[in-house]
Amino acid sequence: MPSPRQIRETVVQFLYCADLEGGADPIALRGPFWDFVTESERRKLLIATFRAIHHLASGRGERLAEFQQRSTSATMLLSGKPDTEEIRQCLERITRLETNWSVAFQNLEHLPKDDDDASVASKFDPALDHLFRIDRDLAGARAEFIDLTDLQPSLRGPLEPVTASIRRLQRISDRIRMVEEPENFPDQGDLTKLRKSKSEIVELRETADKWVDAILAHKDDIDTKLGEVIENYSPARIDPVDRAILRLATHELLHTATPPKVVINEAIELAKRFGTTDSKRFVNGILDKIAGLSTAAAADGSP
């Protein structure tokens, strides 16, 4: 689970990148922003996912060769019989998809894995997605073939060899589905690392987006409060990084139960990391005043 510090850092980065004063729609920036912020984590996850698939596919070559041999005999058996045409077409579809799967897997194997984070993520993400789509289509076609043969008892015996090969290949796909969606298989201990990595990326995005949404919803109130303690306040006059930190921290002071001391200390740490030499002192002074006003308002019952 992402730490509060990590969430705050991400929110500040988003607010800075969004540049709320006359910039692009902040919501429209979320996709590109998250692609950028999570490049390193996504690279690790994508490489780990590929390695898991590579391990699972280690015995696929033999199973595929067996299927190809048996499917040739099965196709000859089914050819020329009107009542088996649908089964034959389904088997041919499986054969095409199996070939497509092999090609997609080979493409993944040849992708460079030592490039920079952005390059690896941009190449592996669509390549893995393509393989997963083919694998899902294969699972559907295999299930359809088995269902169709079950409807014709006289063919079960003659088609049993190719059906057995299809089932063996499907067992690999069943494991690949777990790799694609590790969060849906919590009992699989060997997927713990993938599950954790994926959930951390998802949780960070979901939590940070909620914080950003809250700040955007209260932006006018936040700026009004900042205007009470900053002389001649105008958002454009404040350094963009300091402005992002102040808006986040002011939101926390006004609209959350986080203790003011914690909010201010976290804001100071953010200013140290992202701001200028003067940011720490400036942010500390402004937030001390806002915390003081909030405390006074609470004491006399003011809203």
pLDDT tens, residue by residue, 164-206: 999 999 999 999 999 999 999 999 888 999 999 999 999 999 9
Q: Which amino acid is at 217?
A: A
Percent above pLDDT 90 for the chain: 71
The count of other CB atoms within 10 Å of the CB of residue 160 is 13
Q: What is the pLDDT of residue 300?
A: 53
Q: What is the DSSP string of 181-250?
A: -GGG-TT-GGGHHHHHHHHHHHHHHHHHHHHHHHHHHTHHHHHHHHHHHSTT--GGGS-HHHHHHHHHHH
Write down the pLDDT at residue 28. 75
Residue 38 has pLDDT above 80, yes or no: yes
Are 237 and 268 spatial neighbours (Cβ–Cβ below 8 Å)? Answer: no
Q: How high is the pLDDT of residue 215? A: 94
The mean pLDDT of 1-23, rounded to a whole number, is 83
Alpha helices in 57-188 (DSSP H): 60-78, 85-110, 117-150, 153-180
Q: Tell whether the model's pLDDT for residue 26 goes beyond 90.
A: no
Say how far apart CA 109 and CA 118 lie, in whole Å.
18
Per-domain residue ranges of the chain:
4-36+197-300, 39-180
Task: For the chain, give the mean pLDDT.
Answer: 90
pLDDT of residue 289: 93
Q: Is residue 151 pLDDT above 70, yes or no?
A: yes
CATH 1.10.940.10 correct for 4-36+197-300: yes
Q: What is residue 21's predicted lDDT score, i.e. its pLDDT?
A: 55
Residue type (1 letter), 35: D
In this predicted model, which residue has the larger pLDDT, 35 or 297? 35
Contacts of 59 (CB under 8 A, 6+ apart): 172
What gap in Å lies between CA 39 and CA 62, rounded to an integer?
Answer: 36
Average pLDDT for 226-236? 85
Q: Coil, strand or helix: which one is 122?
A: helix
pLDDT for 20 beyond 70: no
pLDDT digits (tens, 9 = 90+) for 92-144: 999 999 999 999 999 999 999 888 888 888 899 999 999 999 999 999 999 99
Cα Rg of the chain, angstroms = 28
Q: Per-residue pLDDT averaged across 49-61, rounded?
A: 93
Q: Is 276 left (phi over 0), alpha (psi -120 to 50) or beta?
A: beta
Region for residue 22 given its phi and psi (left: phi exceeds 0; alpha: psi -120 to 50; beta: otherwise): left
pLDDT of 281 strictly over 90: yes
Of the candidates 110, 99, 104, the one whose C-alpha atom is nearest the C-alpha of residue 127 is: 104
Contacts of 124 by beta carbon, 8 Å cutoff, 6+ apart: 43, 46, 47, 50, 108, 111
Average pLDDT over residues 147-167: 95
pLDDT for 299 equals 45
